[in-house]
Amino acid sequence: MATDTDTGRVEGFGEVSRVRGIAFEYLSLGASVFGIFALAVLLVYVTIDAFDLANASPEWLLTYFLTLVVPFLGFCLYSARDRALTRRAVTVAGGGLVAVAVVFTLVETFVGQIPRLNWQLAYLFAVGIPLTGYLTYMGARGQPGSVGFGLVGRLIGGTAVGLALTVLFLVFDPRLWFLAYTLGVVPATLAYGYGYVREVPTAMTAVIPIGIVGTLGAVLLRPIVDTYPTTVFVYLWTLAIPVAVAGALVVAARGGRTTALAAGGVPLAVATAVGLGGQLAGLAVGGPNALVVLAVAGVPTAVYLHRVFDVGEGVIGLGLPVLLAVGALAGALVVETFGIPAPNPWVSETFLTEAPSRTASEAGLYPAIVGSVIIIAMVAVLSFVLGVATSVFLEEYTADSGVVGALTRLLQINIANLAAIPSVVYGLLGLGLFANLLGFGFGTAVTVSLTLSLLILPITIISAQEAIRSVPDDLRRGSDAMGATRWQTTKNIVLPEAFPGILTGTILALGRAIGETAPLIMVGAATTVFSPPSSLFSKFSAMPMQIYAWANFPQAEFRYGVVAAGVITLLVILIGMNGTAILLRNRAERGS
Amino acid sequence: MTDSTESPDLQRRSGLTRLKEGTYGGFFAACAAITLLTTVAIIATLLSDAVMFFAEVPIREFLFSTSWSPNPRGGGQTFGIVALVIGTLTVTITAAFVALPVGTLTAIYLSEYATSNARSILKPLLEILAGIPTVVYGYFALVYVTPALKATLFPEMSTFNALSASLMVGIMTIPMVSSISEDAMSAVPDDLRQAGYGLGATKFEVSTGIVVPASISGIASSYILAVSRAIGETMIVVVAMGAQARMPTVGETVLGIPYINPADVLLESGMTITVAMVQIAGGDLTGGTIPYDAMFALGLTLFVVTFVMNVLSDIIAERYREEY
Amino acid sequence: MSNTPSSDTRSSESLITTDVETGSNDRITPSDRTAVAARDLNVYYGDEQAIDDVSIEIPEKRVTALIGPSGCGKSTFLRCINRMNDMIDVCRVDGDVEFGGKNVYDDDVDPVALRRKIGMVFQKPNPFPKSIRDNVAYGLKIQGFDGDVDARVEESLKSAALWDEVKDQLDSSGLDLSGGQQQRLCIARAIAADPEVVLMDEPTSALDPVAASKIEDLIDDLAEEYTVIIVTHNMQQAARISDRTAVFLTGGRLVEYDDTAKIFEDPEEQRVEDYITGKFG
């Protein structure tokens, strides 16, 4: 070809316009963050309302920023041990301050006042919270940080579980539990322990029958026996001691006998002392509930402390709770001493511990929180058992072809369809079947729990199936080839491997149940109850029901105050549950 | 090792072991059967009361009458679903205007443009949108969105209105569209993309000209599911849209074709099928009355519509699964 | 009867070009009892025939190798012996497989009970995500063994030539071991339950040569106590470790079955010779 002439040379390939492409990329990016951004703005406003931040003085914000936030960020940066990160954090915090102030002033000058937002709050939400979140994440990757957060998490989580346990005894008879525990749970556990240590399989097989017989015996004996120990001793015997023993066993598996005794015994002794002493001295603190909370929060904390000291890394992180407590106290002290005007948050101790009221300042969420806790506990048990059993059946006990295969496909399609049925229709099922036909009553805990269990069952099943499916087939075949029966393979190989995934899925599904409102209205749950329920068949309310009721109140104090506080409480509980689920999943993924 | 000359014992094992195996298997099967029973129970519950309802109120009246007033003060109940259907359609269509384009663009961004890092942050954040309790969305619409819209765009808006509620329903359904559509787009084989790039197409042309058409059945299936979800959505509309079953005024100005002024439905309160059910449930739950039965008739309508849409979406989704 | 190490009988006339030692076929005597036998066995996957009319008698306490090109049905045959094919829905089995004189496909046979008497080792090492001890004790646990578990674990690990390497870390996870160790752990797991037959489905194909040769040595030792049936695609391996060799060719037909030395030095069938010398397959 004519390569020697100039005409044959390629001068360039020209350019294809990318403008449309780039515009499209940013458009789609904008779409991706649109919903998230809208929700974030709404959450900012509801937070401002719930904590009355619009009335927070700059001095107040500054005080807590200095006493609480700065030390915490310092802790995170110390834990991350990354100079570049520290530099970046300081730049963002400082530069963000300037940027927010400038943008905010410009908007206020040229566009108009932004309601209930000043530049301090804008800085807090646009820079402060994201930065804190990011640094917390980075800090948690360092040794002291992970130790510190682990400790704080156990303290908060243990307290929450302890409180939830005491709430459950509002509707469940502690005396029946005492009998069932003594006659059923203890002998069954002993049988299991004996079988495990001495390797006697028959003792292990007998565990379930022993438990059932003991529980039935308890139910029969409950009306006959009429002397019981006081509640404090019931809680001590049935809750605090087993938790302490379990903690001691965990430590004993790692370390010596003395430390094990200490890890179980010290929190138990403290809890007993406070629980009994408080009651004897007639103090406000103490009593049976304090006993349970201290034991349930204390034992895991002690076990964790033992582990941290055992490993010996990042021990300094254990100071985090102290740092936070001192910071909060110091802030309060400064605010008190200098008379700094403080906001008057709607989310307060009264709000969490009082009954609803027509006066906004006295309104509380307590009965609704109790209702939600009880419902969630029952839904958790029901949907976990049904969900795991169904998914095990679908994944392990069925075939792909033939009649069984057809039946399996039918079940599978049916479950997918159930997941898409509107929740209000489940409400009708609960109303027609549980409340009217079976007579469990309108809006009782039983009716509500059964309805919600069926509602989240398909979600639980689908996620449990995914978890079970992710167990490699190699392991199943290995177990089968050893001559394991189907149940043995399921119990020994499949379920232990799939368990973290199943647990995560169940907790996420429970998050759905805790926010459901429509089915509760349909089965006649009360919008407002003034005292916590006293039995499984008394009138119930739940947090979303109470929010729904309050949202209808015309007064601004309710609309912008009380409901906001209710929403924040609900969301915090939801985030706590989902966060736990995600932590569990991440941990399982790292472990395997 | 056994040295015995007898043949090994391969018999089925003792009664106890078999009983144990059978008990577990039976227990699992029984639990699985509960899911089937749930469906049966839903249909039976809905049908039994709906049948009683239609014995009192003719189906014709239910389907074509435009007035819904189950508990009037002065007597003369009417049960016409048309006004409720209009309310439901208003919410669904408006929500679809938000969720479908935003969800599709999100899916394209996640599947074609986002780095794996961005994806790992965006996807869980999007899931949060679907995880917020709907009553909270309703509260947001009522207390923040409506006043904001009133102050800026629509001064004549009423406190309870369809628009804010629909916007929130739309935002809530974004993740349904985006996650299912993204799955479909990610399932498009890379060969197709490579072929496009080989022909000198830009990323934009590959995304919109190859990936989207190739995954169209998955996208369609996600749309149907999102719309079905919007139809059944209850608490957002109950809290933010009010409870007034209204027929919009039909004007006949444009070339004699009847039309409805959108502002007339969007900025005013209205009532969806779900709201009507909640409203009756607020008053009367013991059964035996016509409004009680009407609730189940509405529930049946809702069940049938969402069921048909789910099956449709399944069938369409099945097609794209077969393609690759 | 002597269990001479395989190196004693070195073949000079091997058809394989590499220097290969064939198995110690002097162990075969007419008085050998049959451990596993198949009679007129046909296996179908749906419409496809995977095993075509196979009859074979596999002697007790010997290593029998099943070789052949991929897809020839050798693995399917192996899985018929402990009825692992039952797990596959579309699989249909005609004919008899006798184990200790009893047809395992008889109605009154429980496949689970059968598998407790026949151990199996898979191509890819598949230790359970449990401790080494629990892995080995797994078979004992599911059978409700009430003797000294720890002694059994030690004995099995010793038989699997793994004891010295893991005796100080019995409580660490089986997944922490190297590939070759994992496979020996799987062998220990299989023999801990005291089976009569050990089936091995290409047990070394996922391992490096050093680990593979350790397994081969181990197999040779195992034959003192167990009947070993091994599927392999590696002809040198079959020649080295087995006493008897069965050659399957495409279509699931058993073409030739004889003493290993005979198969590798002087096969009856031209096709087998072609396969062994690498002319096809």
For the stretch A66-97, pLDDT in tens is 898 889 999 999 888 888 888 999 999 889 88
For A33, the enclosing helix (H) or strand (E) is helix A19-51
| Contact yes or no for A27 and B277 at CB 8 A | no
**DSSP-based three-state secondary structure for A568:** helix
What's the pLDDT at C200?
A: 93
pLDDT the model gives residue C187: 92
Banded pLDDT at A347 (limits 50, 70, 90):
confident
C-alpha distances out from residue B42 to A248, B224, C252, Å? 49, 22, 53
Cα(C15)–Cα(C10) distance, integer angstroms: 13
The answer, for B174 touching chain A at a CB cutoff of 8 Å, is: yes
Is the minimum CB–CB distance between C142 and chain A shorter than 8 Å?
A: yes
Q: Kindly determine whether residue A35 and residue B102, on different chains, have CB atoms separated by under 8 Å.
A: yes
Question: What's the N-to-C CA distance of chain C in angstroms?
Answer: 37
* pLDDT recorded at residue A207: 85
What distance in Å separates residue A470's CA from the closest CA in chain C?
14
Q: Give CA–CA dist C232/A14, Å, rounded.
A: 60
- CB atoms < 10 A from the CB of A592, how many? 10
Query: What mean pLDDT is predicted for residues A411-427?
Result: 92
Q: Decide if A427 contacts A523 (C-beta within 8 A).
A: yes
Phi, psi angle pair for A146, to nearest 5°? -65, -35
> Under an 8 A CB cutoff, do A492 and C144 touch?
no
Subunits touching B (CB < 8 Å, at least 3 pairs)?
A, C
Which of B 52-91 lie inside 8 A of A, CB atoms? none
Is the Cβ of C152 closer than 8 Å to some Cβ of chain A? Answer: no
Coil vs helix vs strand at A149: helix
Closest residue by Cα to residue C244 from C216, C274, C264: C264
The kind and range of the H/E element at A575 are helix A563-591
**Rounded mean pLDDT, A101-124:** 84
Q: From CA C269, how far away is CA C281, in angstroms rounded?
A: 15
Is residue B163 within 8 Å of residue B94, measured between CB atoms? yes
CA B48 centroid distance within chain = 25
CA distance C203 to C184: 10
Euclidean distance between CA atoms B285 and A525, whole angstroms = 11
DSSP A183: I
Residue C84's identity, in one-letter code, is M
Q: What percent of chain A has pLDDT over 70?
A: 96
Q: Rounded to the nearest 10 degrees, what angle do helices A241-254 and A257-281 cross at? A: 160
Maximum mean pLDDT: which of A39-53, B90-104, C209-223: B90-104
Q: What is the pLDDT of residue A6?
A: 52
For residue A125, pLDDT over 60 is answered with yes
Partner-chain residue, chosen from B109, B131, B225, that has the shortest CB–CB distance to A31: B109
Who wins on pLDDT, C50 or C281? Answer: C50
Tokens of B95: 């929500």
The per-residue pLDDT for range A19-62, each reduced to its tens digit, is: 888 888 999 999 999 999 999 999 999 998 888 888 888 888 88
3-class SS letters over chain B: CCCCCCCCCCECCCHHHHHHHHHHHHHHHHHHHHHHHHHHHHHHHHHHHHHHHHHHCCHHHHHHCCCEECCCCCCCCEECCHHHHHHHHHHHHHHHHHHHHHHHHHHHHHHHHCCHHHHHHHHHHHHHHHHCCHHHHHHHHHHHHHHHHHHHCCCCCCCCCHHHHHHHHHHHHHHHHHHHHHHHHHCCCHHHHHHHHHCCCCHHHHHHHHHHHHCHHHHHHHHHHHHHHHHHCCHHHHHHCCCCCCCCCEECCCCCCCEECHHHHHCCCCCCHHHHHHHHHCCCCCCCCHHHHHHHHHHHHHHHHHHHHHHHHHHHHHHHHHHC
Task: Please tell me the predicted confidence (pLDDT) of residue B189.
Answer: 87
Q: How large is the C-alpha radius of gyration of chain C?
A: 18
Kind of pairing, strands B68-69 and B78-79?
antiparallel
- Going by pLDDT thresholds of 50, 70 and 90, the confidence category of residue C154 is very high
Predicted confidence band at C9 (pLDDT cuts at 50, 70, 90)? very low
pLDDT at position A485 over 90: no
The pLDDT-based confidence of A104 (bands split at 50, 70, 90) is confident
Residue whose token pair is 């995600």: A582
Kindly determine whether residue C99 and residue B2, on different chains, have CB atoms separated by under 8 Å: no
- Cβ-contact B280, B291 below 8 angstroms: yes
Q: Do the Cβ atoms of A45 and B144 come within 8 Å?
A: yes
How sure is the predictor about A325, in pLDDT bands with cuts at 50, 70 and 90? very high
**SS3 assignment, position C91:** strand
Highest-scoring range by mean pLDDT, B83-97, B199-213, C142-156 = B83-97
C27 vs B176: which has the higher pLDDT = B176
Helices B290-323 & B162-186, crossing angle to 10 degrees? Answer: 30
pLDDT at position B299, please?
93
Residue C173 pairs in a beta bridge with C131
**pLDDT score at A13:** 74
Residue-level pLDDT at B105: 95
Instruction: Please choose, from the candidates B294, B288, B308, B316, the residue with its C-alpha nearest in 3D space to the C-alpha of residue B221.
Output: B316
Question: Judging by beta carbons within 10 Å of its beta carbon (0-12, 13-18, 19+), is residue A280 exposed, middle or buried?
Answer: exposed
Under 8 Å CB pairs connecting chains A and C tally to: 76
A586 or A377, greater pLDDT:
A377
B174 within 8 A of B74, measured Cβ to Cβ: no
Q: Chain B closest CA to C21's CA: distance in Å?
A: 29
* Residues of chain B numbered 233-272 and touching chain A (CB < 8 Å): 233-235, 238-239
Structure token pair of residue A388? 């795991």
Question: Across chain A, what does the average pLDDT equal?
Answer: 86
- Chain A residues whose beta carbon lies within 8 Å of the beta carbon of residue C174: none
Q: Measure B134 CA to nearest chain C CA, in Å.
A: 42
- Across the interface, which of A420, A428, A517 has its CB nearest the CB of B235? A517
Residues B297-324 have a mean pLDDT of 84
Other Cβ atoms within 10 Å of B319 Cβ, number:
13
**Residue-wise pLDDT tens digits, B291-309:** 888 889 999 999 999 999 9
Q: What is the pLDDT of residues B142-164, one digit of tens each?
A: 999 998 888 888 888 888 888 99
pLDDT tens by residue, A513-568:
999 999 999 988 887 788 778 788 888 888 999 889 888 888 888 888 888 999 99
ipTM of model:
0.90
Query: How would residue A426 be classed by pLDDT, with cut points 50, 70 and 90?
Result: very high
What pLDDT is stored for residue B95 in this prediction?
94
Does A539 or B36 have the greater pLDDT score? B36
DSSP class of residue A358 equals S
Q: How far apart are CA C118 and CA C137, in angstroms?
A: 16
pLDDT, tens digit (0-9, with 9 covering 90-100), for A428-481: 999 989 988 888 888 888 999 999 999 999 999 999 999 999 999 999 999 999
The arithmetic mean of pLDDT across residues B8-17, rounded, is 66
User: pLDDT tens-digit profile of B214-267?
Assistant: 888 889 999 999 999 999 999 999 998 887 777 777 766 666 676 777 777 778
Average pLDDT in chain C? 83
Residue C227 bridge partners (DSSP) = C197
A472 contacts in chain C (CB < 8 Å):
126
Helices B290-323 and B15-56: crossing angle, nearest 10°? 120
Interchain CB distance below 8 Å, B132 and A567: no
Return the half-sphere exposure (C-beta side, CA atoms, 13 A cut-off) of residue A176.
10
Show which of residues 230-259 on chain A sit within 8 Å of chain B, judged by CB atoms: none
Q: Of B280, B107, B108, B98, nearest to B172 (Cα)?
A: B98
**pLDDT (tens digit per residue) in A178-200:** 999 989 889 999 988 887 777 67
pLDDT of residue C8 exceeding 50: no
Q: Does C84 touch chain A (CB under 8 A)?
A: yes
> What does the alpha-carbon distance between residue C53 and residue A142 come to, in Å, rounded to a whole number?
65
Contacts of A477 in chain C (CB under 8 A): 84, 87, 122, 126
Q: Minimal CA–CA distance to A366: which of A151, A569, A147?
A: A569
* Residues of chain C found within 8 Å of residue A493, distances taken between Cβ atoms: 128
Looking at the partner chain, which of C102, C112, C225 has a beta carbon nearest the beta carbon of B8?
Answer: C102
* DSSP state, residue A494: I
Q: How confident is the model at residue B323 (pLDDT cuts 50, 70, 90)?
A: low
DSSP string, C183-226: HHHHHHHHHHT--SEEEEESTTTTS-HHHHHHHHHHHHHHTTTS
Task: Report whether B296 contacts B53 (CB < 8 A).
Answer: yes
Say what the pLDDT of residue B73 is.
63
Q: Can you tell me whether residue C116 is helix, strand or coil?
A: coil
The pair of structure tokens assigned to A270 is 């403290």
Q: How far apart are CA C136 and CA C126, in angstroms?
A: 12
User: Over the Cα atoms of chain B, what is R_g?
Assistant: 26
Do C138 and A479 lie within an 8 Å CB cutoff? Answer: yes
